[in-house]
Amino acid sequence: MPKDYTEFDQMIISASRLVKDTDVIYTGVGFPIEAAILAKNLHAPNCTIVLENGIVRASMFRLPWTTDTMESQLLAEQLTSLTYVNCLAQAGYITLGFMGGGQVDRYGNVNDHVVGDYYKPVHRWFGSGGANDLMSFCRRTVIILEQSKRRFPEKVDFNTCPGFFDGRPNRRKEVGLPPDNGPVAVITNLATFTFENSEMTLKTVHMSCGITPEKVKAELGWDIKVAEDLSDTLPPTEEELQVYREKIVAARRFERRGRGASMR
């Protein structure tokens, strides 16, 4: 039987598997919130989802089109401020951060500012928003984004959200960041990566989507470290696909043009 899911569906489902039932998740809009809500509908019904504008929810809610909507506010356990939710995170009470990013480099540093010179950029994104706060504070951070060589340079031109800097030990502690925090995984439409000794490491390849390790390597800006136990990404289970379609795909308000996540 031909597979009936895309590599982007695999990406969101793989990311959702990283949520534990006990997690408190600070999530950004787009793929991250889709993965968080999917997890809550599957294996992590008791997780709490925290949205930047001041929404703290343990109760279920439908996928909103952006973080703050009438529905994402409705019947939340707590509506508060951006300051409050970031204080929760800064004080160590948020266990998991889910975010996107403009670029990610070899040591998990994220660039949401510029390619090239800051004042004369070749490319420009919107800036940190809450991303720097999220990655600085959350106990574990997962970065979810579409993979291309352009998005994965060996070293970012601008470090918006520090991961492990140049990979030397203790760099986070030296600058004052909570030393045990930082990125733990990068999930793309091609593969999943973890961090071994602060370095991004290829862990699984979305083989069931027709992705090969060569394809993954071709869309990275450096010679990636490969895990000894490199394996195929576990394909979506029937249950995962069914819930994904009911709770995520059906609730999407805008089609992602050219991105290939399935719409039905």
Partner 1 sequence: MSSKVMKLDEAVRNNVKPGDLLFIGGAIHASPSAAVAEIVRQRINHLTVVAILANTSPLVGEGLVDKVLTAYSMTDEKRSFPLQRARNKFNVKVEFKEYSHFDIALALQAGYMGVPFMPTRSHLGSDMMKYNEDIQSIDCPFTGGQIGIVRAVVPDVGIIHVQRCDAEGNAQKWGTLGIDFEGINASKRVIITTEKIVSSDVIQRDPNRTIIPGFRVNAVVEQPFGAYPSHLAGCYDEGLAMIGGMQDEARWEKYINSLVYNVKDWNEYLENLKQASSPDFLNKLRIKNPLFSDPVITGI
| In the complex, least distance from residue 251 CB atom to partner 1, rounded to whole angstroms | 16
CB atoms within 10 A of CB 6: 17
Site for partner 1 in 7-36 (CB under 8 A): none
Q: Which of 30, 121, 167, 235 binds partner 1 (CB under 8 A)?
A: 121
Q: Are 173 and 180 in contact (CB under 8 A)?
A: no
- d(Cα 36, Cα 31) in Å, to the nearest integer? 9
Residue 217 touches partner 1, criterion: CB under 8 A: no
Amino acid at the residue 237: T
Q: Where are the beta strands (DSSP E) in 132-171?
A: 140-144
Residue 235 touches partner 1, criterion: CB under 8 A: no
The structure tokens listed for 110 are 């994220």
Which residues, in sequence order, are CB contacts of 179 under 8 Å at separation 6+? Answer: 170, 172, 173
Q: For the window 85-114, what string marks contact with partner 1 as x by the rule CB under 8 A? A: -x---x----------------------x-
| In the complex, least distance from residue 202 CB atom to partner 1, rounded to whole angstroms | 26
Residue 178 touches partner 1, criterion: CB under 8 A: yes
Q: Determine which one of 7, 52, 146, 240 is catalytic.
A: 52
Stretch that binds partner 1, among 3-11, 128-136, 144-152, 220-228 (CB under 8 A): 128-136
Nearest to 18 by CA among 230, 167, 174, 185: 185
- d(Cα 77, Cα 80) in Å, to the nearest integer? 10
The structure tokens listed for 33 are 């919130």
| In the complex, least distance from residue 201 CB atom to partner 1, rounded to whole angstroms | 22
Binding site for partner 1 (CB under 8 A): 52-55, 66-70, 73-75, 79-83, 86, 90, 113, 118, 121, 124, 126-133, 136-137, 158-162, 165, 171-178
Positions annotated as catalytic residues are 52
